[in-house]
Amino acid sequence: MRSGNPALKESTFLDLASGTVVRGADSMTLNGTVNKTGLLLVLSVITATFAWSQIQFTPEGPVGAMPYLLGGALGGLVFAFATVFKKEWAPVTAPLYAIVEGFFLGAISAMYNHRYEGIVLQAVLLTFGTLFALLFAYRSGLIRATENFKLGVVAATGGIALVYLASIVLGFFNIRIPMIHESGIVGIGFSLFVVVIAALNLVLDFDFIETGVEQGAPKYMEWYGAFGLMVTLVWLYVEFLRLLSKLQSRD
The answer to whether the CB of 105 falls within 8 A of the CB of 44 is: yes
Q: Distance of alpha carbon 79 from its chain centroid, rounded?
A: 14
Is pTM beyond 0.85? Reply is yes
Q: What is the pLDDT of residue 221?
A: 93
> What band does 115 get if pLDDT is binned at 50, 70 and 90?
very high
Q: What is the pLDDT of residue 69?
A: 95
Q: Distance of alpha carbon 33 from its chain centroid, rounded?
A: 16
Local structure of 58: helix, strand or coil: strand
Local structure of 57: helix, strand or coil: strand
Q: What is the pLDDT of residue 26?
A: 80
- Provide mean pLDDT across the span 197-202: 96
Q: What is the pLDDT of residue 9?
A: 58
> What band does 17 get if pLDDT is binned at 50, 70 and 90?
very low
Helix (H) or strand (E) holding 62: strand 61-63
CA separation (Å) from 87 to 153, 213, 227, 230?
A: 24, 16, 10, 15
**pLDDT reading at 127 higher than 60:** yes
Q: What is the pLDDT of residue 208?
A: 86
Q: Is the dihedral of CA 76, 82, 88, 93 positive or negative?
A: negative
**pLDDT reading at 137 higher than 90:** yes
Query: Would you give the DSSP letter of residue 146?
Result: -
The answer to whether the CB of 52 falls within 8 A of the CB of 68 is: no
Query: Would you give the DSSP letter of residue 218?
Result: B
Output the CA angle 221-227-231, nearest 5 degrees: 145
Local structure of 191: helix, strand or coil: helix
Q: Which has the higher per-residue pLDDT, 141 or 26? A: 141
Query: Would you give the DSSP letter of residue 88?
Result: G
Q: What is the pLDDT of residue 23?
A: 52
Nearest-angstrom CA–CA distance, 211 and 217: 9
- Paired with 27 in beta bridges are 218
Q: What is the pLDDT of residue 86?
A: 93
**pLDDT reading at 70 higher than 70:** yes
Q: What is the pLDDT of residue 15?
A: 44
**pLDDT reading at 196 higher than 50:** yes
Nearest-angstrom CA–CA distance, 193 and 152: 13
The answer to whether the CB of 200 falls within 8 A of the CB of 150 is: no
